[in-house]
């Protein structure tokens, strides 16, 4: 069976999905799995595209001590148990920097460029590129495609992407990039299927999960975003601070004597919902808790979403629809209800019954701002990009190379 593998690698887990390419760009999800507990309590889990369990296997820590070992273990299982022959691998890469505004076939030069952006996404970039580096060495003949969370936002105007600092920094790449682009690209496409008239108008999409951001869409294109140079800016997240006065950071460095590394660790790993609540970074745990700090964390999260909705509505010149997506946006009826209340001044009329029922439309019929819940699928987006890029390149290659790529 010939298929595309999609990889989303983190520090202690590697998520993967397998898509059958037999029907061309009409992809069929075969397997969804992950290797987690890398280096501590490694475990391989996988299920079919329709949710049936396939495997749950535990390993000794030294058997899967790092991300490349996790990739090798998952790959061996796929070959042995399912006779899957990989045509290509698509990777989620958080930061493409100023170089990449679309998916790209990875070679040594591309990898070197991506490594320059590790400091801009320290939670994600090192882990995103680790399997790419490993596979370039072990399987150089296997095409790898990097798909960037920043690429979808490269349509922004210069006035949107600039910071008010000396211009030479912008030319060097210090600018507002925006993230979660693969999610927003998928959501924009789904909305055009669900409500084509609305999708072409003024839409705010809110990717609310452990990482959280919001994006202003017009005619399905990104025109502004809450995230900027790094994935720290904007909304508070599970463990990330979101927007913060730069003076606070200067104070921590100069008056508190904190090192740059300590400040970075605090902003990325000890802040956000976790820092405010003192309990957890997981919204499910916060909703179930009665701790006094939890109420502040949830209030703050909702408050900032409301503030940024106003900002993005101003960027759009009004608002016709608001879309909830990602883990919290798709699953927390309470957060959706509280955010919808914040959108009332923009003309949103909320339908609590539809919200509790988990409907895709949670606004009243006469609402001036339509409210949608659209589950995201970044992995499918990556698979589509991977197949599309290889198909384009195959058309320019020798027929033997086309047969090698697509059988």
- Enumerate the active-site residues: 149
CA 145-29-238 angle, to 5 degrees, is: 70
- Count of positions (residues) in the chain: 407
Q: Using alpha carbons, list the distances in angstroms from residue 232 to 227, 251, 378.
A: 7, 18, 20
Please answer whether residues 120 and 173 qualify as being in contact, where contact means their C-beta atoms are separated by less than 8 angstroms: no
Closest CA to 204 of 318, 328, 301, 323: 323
Q: Using alpha carbons, list the distances in angstroms from residue 334 to 95, 151, 273, 299, 370.
A: 32, 32, 16, 12, 18
Sequence-ordered list of residues with C-beta below 8 angstroms from that of 96, at least 6 positions apart, any chain: 114, 117, 146, 148, 149, 150, 151, 177
CA 148-151-155 angle, to 5 degrees, is: 175
C-alpha 36/C-alpha 16 separation (Å) is: 11
Residues pairing with 147 in the sheet: 92
List, as one string, the DSSP characters of 107-131. -HHHHHHHHTTGGGSTTTHHHHHHH
Please answer whether residues 155 and 223 qualify as being in contact, where contact means their C-beta atoms are separated by less than 8 angstroms: yes
**Tokens 């509505």 belong to residue:** 313
C-alpha 396/C-alpha 407 separation (Å) is: 16
Instruction: Classify 264 in phi/psi space as left (phi over 0), alpha (psi -120 to 50) or beta.
Output: alpha
Sequence-ordered list of residues with C-beta below 8 angstroms from that of 152, at least 6 positions apart, any chain: 178, 181, 182, 184, 185, 222
C-alpha 251/C-alpha 127 separation (Å) is: 31
């Amino acid at each position: 069976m010939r298929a595309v593998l999609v990889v989303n690698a983190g520090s202690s887990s590697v998520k993967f999905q397998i898509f059958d390419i037999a029907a061309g760009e009409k992809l069929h999800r075969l397997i969804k799995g992950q290797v987690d507990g890398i280096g501590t309590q490694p475990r391989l889990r996988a299920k079919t595209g329709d949710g049936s369990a396939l495997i749950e296997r535990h390993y000794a820590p030294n058997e899967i001590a790092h991300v490349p070992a996790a990739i090798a273990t998952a790959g061996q299982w796929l070959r042995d148990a399912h006779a899957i022959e990989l045509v290509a691998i698509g990777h989620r890469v958080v930061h493409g920097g100023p170089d990449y505004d679309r998916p790209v076939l990875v070679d040594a030069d591309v990898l070197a460029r991506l490594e320059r952006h590790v400091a801009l996404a320290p939670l994600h970039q090192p882990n995103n590129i680790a399997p790419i580096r490993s596979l370039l060495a072990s399987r150089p003949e296997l095409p790898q495609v990097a798909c960037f969370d920043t690429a979808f936002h490269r349509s922004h105007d210069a006035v949107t992407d600039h910071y008010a600092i000396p211009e030479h920094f912008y030319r060097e790449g210090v600018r507002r990039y925006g993230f979660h682009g693969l999610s927003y690209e998928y959501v924009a496409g789904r909305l055009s299927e669900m409500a084509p008239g609305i999708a072409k108008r003024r839409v705010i999409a809110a990717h609310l999960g452990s990482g959280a951001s919001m994006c202003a869409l017009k005619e399905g294109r990104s025109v502004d975003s809450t995230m900027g140079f790094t994935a720290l800016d904007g909304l508070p997240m599970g463990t990330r601070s979101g927007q913060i006065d730069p003076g606070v950071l200067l104070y921590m460095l100069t008056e508190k004597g904190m090192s740059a590394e300590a400040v970075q660790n605090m902003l990325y790993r000890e802040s956000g919902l976790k820092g405010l609540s003192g309990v957890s970074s997981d919204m499910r745990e916060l909703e179930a808790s009665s701790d006094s700090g939890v109420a502040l964390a949830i209030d703050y999260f909702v408050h900032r979403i409301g503030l940024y909705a106003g900002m993005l509505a101003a960027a759009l010149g009004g608002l016709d629809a608001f879309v909830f997506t990602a883990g919290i946006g798709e699953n927390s009826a309470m957060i959706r209800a509280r955010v919808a209340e914040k959108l009332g001044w923009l003309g949103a009329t909320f339908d609590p019954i539809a919200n509790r029922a988990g409907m895709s439309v949670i606004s009243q019929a006469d609402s001036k701002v339509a409210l949608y819940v659209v589950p995201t699928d970044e992995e499918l987006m990556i698979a589509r990009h991977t197949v599309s890029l290889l198909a384009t390149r195959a058309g320019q290659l020798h027929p033997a190379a086309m047969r090698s790529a697509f059988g």
